[in-house]
Amino acid sequence: MVSEEFINEALSRIKPGEVLVTYTNEQSSVDINDITLIKVNANDDEYSILRLIAIAKAHNDPVLVSKWIIPNELANRKYSRVGSLTLLSRIIDYILIESGYDDYVARSFNEQEFRRILTNGPQDLKLRALEALGLDVPFSFRMANRTDDIDNAIRGLSGGFVSKYLDLRSYLFNNMALEYLLNYLDLLFKNA
């Protein structure tokens, strides 16, 4: 059971901006309107609640929102929605790491699933790269200038896709925005 004290500490550490937290018996959620309303079910796990608070920060911070939001000119572009959610996932983990919740984030990394996507994911290589990035917790650690254990996660893996994925990852480290992500995917996988 998550305590009100835990939530208040998370709010002070993450600093999500203007939010209203309500306790409910319903499923936890975030409603993003003019104000961010976080509905917390005290029976949820701590990590889920931390992610809800981090989503509020990702929405309220103009620098962060510019990285994952879908601008009008990209609204109908293929992979926009998947790319947006992928970047949002990396940003949520980044926020939590920066706020001192790196243990929660590190425990969430599913290395086996990450390796499976890299070696045997969807045939659509752009979608496969987005799925891998969505699972790439080490990338969020790198964004926060913390250790980047990607070498351990991909040890023993090779091939053209893995090499291109690492190129994408390196590019995004300095150019993290949805438009850049989609354009670089087109460049890497032009024949896909």
**pLDDT exceeds 90 at position 134:** yes
94 and 48 in one domain?
Answer: no
Judge whether 37 and 19 are in contact, CB under 8 Å: yes
The pLDDT value recorded for residue 125 is: 95
**pLDDT exceeds 70 at position 192:** no
The bridge status of strand 19-23 relative to strand 36-40 is parallel
136 and 169 in one domain?
Answer: yes
pTM, rounded to two decimals: 0.92
E-state strands within the chain: 19-23, 29-32, 36-40
The C-alpha atoms of residue 20 and residue 39 are separated, in whole angstroms, by 8
76 and 10 in one domain?
Answer: no
Position of tokens 């929660």?
104
Q: Which residue segment(s) compose the domain that 19 sits in?
A: 4-60
